[in-house]
Amino acid sequence: MKQVIFRIDFGMVSHGIAPLFVDGHATELGFWGLSSDIVRRLKRLSELYDRQVNWDNPTDPNWRISERDRHEFNALLPFVVSELQIALGERWQIIVESEAI
């Protein structure tokens, strides 16, 4: 069984990079042949994750992600991991490194 690391990071999905790492290397979204629904949810997770930073002033100490966005991210994360496990099948073990925010 192969292992894949699931880790959301800033700007990945918007640049065509899947939050799935094999042997320490990021992979492209197209590599996995994921359904459009899964890709859409990965994009949403990435958008929500990116909202943790004020991109107009990344060092803004007062910036906080909204509670609504935080709750949505935290609810969506395990759902997407489950969907990915089903899509990847038994050949892959997903190691989740992303945590709730």
State mean pLDDT over 6-30. Answer: 93
Which pLDDT band, with edges at 50, 70 and 90, does 54 fall under?
confident
State mean pLDDT over 69-92. Answer: 96
Indicate whether 8 pLDDT > 90. Answer: yes
Sign of CA dihedral 33, 15, 20, 101: negative
Distance CA 90, CA 87 (A): 9
Which pLDDT band, with edges at 50, 70 and 90, does 63 fall under?
confident
Q: Where are the domains of the chain?
A: 2-96
Indicate whether 11 pLDDT > 90. Answer: no
Q: Are strands 17-22 and 2-6 parallel, antiparallel or unpaired?
A: antiparallel
